[in-house]
Structure 1
Amino acid sequence: MNAKNQRALELACTTLDLEADAIRKMRDRLAQDGQSALLLSVQLLEQCRGRIVVSGIGKSGHIARKVAATFASTGSPAFFVHPAEASHGDLGMVTRDDVFVAISNSGETDELLTIVPIIKRTGAKLIALTGDPNSSLAKLADAHLDISVDKEACPLNMAPTTSTTAALAMGDALAVSLLDARGFKAEDFLRSHPGGRLGRKLIAHVSEVMRDLSSTPKINVKASFVEALAEMSGQKMGLVVIVNDTNQVLGILTDGDLRRLLEKQADIDSISLADAMTPNPRTIPPDLIAEEAIAMMEQHRINHLIVADPEKRLLGALNLHDLFAAKVI
């Protein structure tokens, strides 16, 4: 590796180390001296009857936009307001029922300090995230969260790098603490994320992504072992479901079961399905959410599930490939 590439690698690793160390130190401060400030911040946000208004300028403004989006997507109505635009009319967006979250590394951002006194007079609560607990913004705040860092990851110690990472991490910490305090559930998350793979994962039911009965490899328990193998091969699912005359699930035979069985017994004509199958396999109802089916597969370390009604009558089957195809994984 030449010197230029070596330098690039070293700087990248140093950046990650500095930013990780800064977050760890911020966590330690929070656990030791910052508990009351965090709890007060969460309380103010939880009691907010209006909107959470997040603001900052420059790189802090970019972080503020993301923090506002995180609040909004986790059940707390929020929006970003640019502090310079706020002083030219957008301040009318802020009401006494709101909580104003101001992000400034220095705590002395002129644009924020211009509008904060007016915001305070409206009756809105102020939470400040700054790198200086003695700054003007910190002193004006109802709750102040210390996001100070020892140095920026920038070799010149000038470009906002470590400081913006710390601000973003604290914003996430607030949002996560708030969503838990409000009892935010996966169903609530779905309401603001109906699109994309994430929404599909939470909204799709097993009945929408499973293979129907005609596409599910199945065989009567009275059939021969050879017939079961033919059914398994024909449907290409790596299993065959064993049912009785009323289509109730009795067992399952997978390709793994088959390999293990053939290692022990070469004469397949003498094998009965009742002896070869795994009895009473796990089944799931069709109205289960796909996310729950995924969790079951992960918990039991399996890649397929049998779909059946309450009487154990076979309705279909589901495997990981079906979930990938349906874009829920």
Structure 2
Amino acid sequence: MDTKTKKNYTVEEILKYESDAILRIPKTNEYDKAVGLIVEYVHKRGGRLITSGMGKAGQIAANIATTFCSTGTPSYFLHPSEAQHGDLGIIRQGDIMLLVSNSGKTREVLELVDLVHGLVENIPLILITGNSSGDLAKVVDVCLSTGNPDEVCPLGLTPTTSTTMMTVIGDLLVVRTMQEINFDYPDYAKRHHGGYLGSKSRDLSK
């Protein structure tokens, strides 16, 4: 019987592991194409960006949606399982989807794609994944690879490094979209009416 040896990292080693993995995210990913689709469908056609994913990847997808919302791109998170019980109705013609799946073959997300195509056949699909040759990669318009790094988790199992990569790619899409739509301080202030960021954005708008 094979035995696995748990890895032990220092704080410095964990930080270096994660930062090195970020630098290995493929620069060849079609970021411009993904951002172009978001701008076209949301900001020119009046659609919404719908994000989705299961488990930890789903939590990243939900965070990406809220960050897009706060920076001028209307976005919603759709849970793949809840979609099968009526929430699919949030999707309409003109929307675009951003899927997040490290394995690239998450059953619930694959089922969601089929359901979505039954409602809006030609909806554009963008995927953030660690498996650019997986089942999901074959059915999307744009596949953005995380580089599929090993997890820094001592057991090599818990989504840690992979979720960091997904978050970084999500941030990249948000920032590039902000630049494309010329999102500025007054735009930010209109969406943040409370808290420190709201106050700061209003000051910077003057």
TM-score when scaled to structure 1? 0.57
In the alignment, does 2:161 pair up with 1:162?
yes
CA–CA distance in structure 2, aligned partners of residues 89 and 148 of structure 1: 35
Cross-structure match for 2:11: 12
Cross-structure match for 2:40: 47
- Structure 1 residue 70: deviation in Å? 0.6
* Alignment deviations for residues 93-141 of structure 1 (CA, whole Å, 9 cap, x no partner): 1112111110000010000000102323412110011101101111111
Cross-structure match for 1:109: 106
Structure number with greater Rg is 1
- Structure 1 residue 11: deviation in Å? 3.3
Answer yes or no: is the 8 Å Cα contact 2:56–2:159 preserved in 1.
yes
Letter of the aligned partner of 2:97 in structure 1?
Answer: F
- Structure 1 residue 292: deviation in Å? 7.5
- Structure 1 residue 87: deviation in Å? 1.6
Letter of the aligned partner of 2:162 in structure 1?
Answer: S
Correspondence for 2:69 among 66, 69, 72 = 72
CA–CA distance in structure 1, aligned partners of residues 33 and 117 of structure 2: 17
- Structure 1 residue 150: deviation in Å? 2.5
CA–CA distance in structure 1, aligned partners of residues 205 and 76 of structure 2: 32
Letter of the aligned partner of 2:35 in structure 1?
Answer: V
Q: Counterparts of 1:62-211 in structure 2 under 5 Å?
A: 62-121=59-118, 122=120, 123-203=122-202
What SS is found at the alignment partner of 2:24? Answer: helix
What SS is found at the alignment partner of 1:47? Answer: helix
State the superposition RMSD in angstroms. 1.7
Answer yes or no: is the 8 Å Cα contact 1:86–1:115 preserved in 2.
yes
What SS is found at the alignment partner of 2:100? Answer: strand
CA–CA distance in structure 2, aligned partners of residues 110 and 47 of structure 1: 29
Cross-structure match for 1:318: none
Instruction: Mark the runs of 5 or more structure 2 residues left unpaired by the alignment.
Output: 1-6
- Structure 1 residue 13: deviation in Å? 2.3
Structure number with the higher strand fraction is 1
Letter of the aligned partner of 1:55 in structure 2?
Answer: S
| Identical-residue share of aligned pairs (%) | 38
CA–CA distance in structure 1, aligned partners of residues 161 and 192 of structure 2: 30
CA–CA distance in structure 2, aligned partners of residues 91 and 291 of structure 1: 39
CA–CA distance in structure 2, aligned partners of residues 56 and 40 of structure 1: 21
Answer yes or no: is the 8 Å Cα contact 2:94–2:123 preserved in 1.
yes
- Residue correspondences, number: 194
Of structures 1 and 2, the one with the larger relative CO (CA 8 A, separation 6+) is 2
Letter of the aligned partner of 1:176 in structure 2?
Answer: V
* Alignment deviations for residues 2-54 of structure 1 (CA, whole Å, 9 cap, x no partner): xxxxx98x43322211111111010xx22xx22xx211101110011211011
